[in-house]
Structure 1
Amino acid sequence: MRNLLGPESLARLPISHADYLTGRAFFPKLISEPFEQGLSVAFDFAIAACLVAAVVSLLRGGRYVHGETATTKA
């Protein structure tokens, strides 16, 4: 965070605020909730896609066997 904010921005802040922003607790707290929500959305989508694929597979019918359609002309 120190590199992202730059020395000019940190110099304008009170020392306690600058220490909090550049410490080890601020950034993990900042990104933990959005990361958790994004991960939840990704897993929910994956579950839904797998369920749709399973339903479509069941509705497709029995086993498909490729027929021989090649004709030979002499």
Structure 2
Amino acid sequence: MTAKEIREKSNTELNQEIETLKEELFNLRFQQAVGNLTNTARMRTVKKTIARIKTVMTERELGSQE
């Protein structure tokens, strides 16, 4: 998901997306611990997507305070 796609969504949609990605990250970590994880790069992309979403949400908060 790109930053442009993230900016087009509302805050409630972004919160739901974060929850979904956190669940996926948990499952990926569990698979890695068990030894069943095949695509290790997916963990990195999920973490980065969560960070992008949080960055956009912080930008919105700071923009509304000014």
Could you tell me the TM-score, scaled by structure 2's length?
Answer: 0.39
The structure with the greater share of residues assigned to helix is: 2
Structure label with greater radius of gyration? 1
Which structure would you say has the larger RCO, counting Cα contacts within 8 Å and 6 or more residues apart? 2
Could you tell me the TM-score, scaled by structure 1's length?
Answer: 0.35
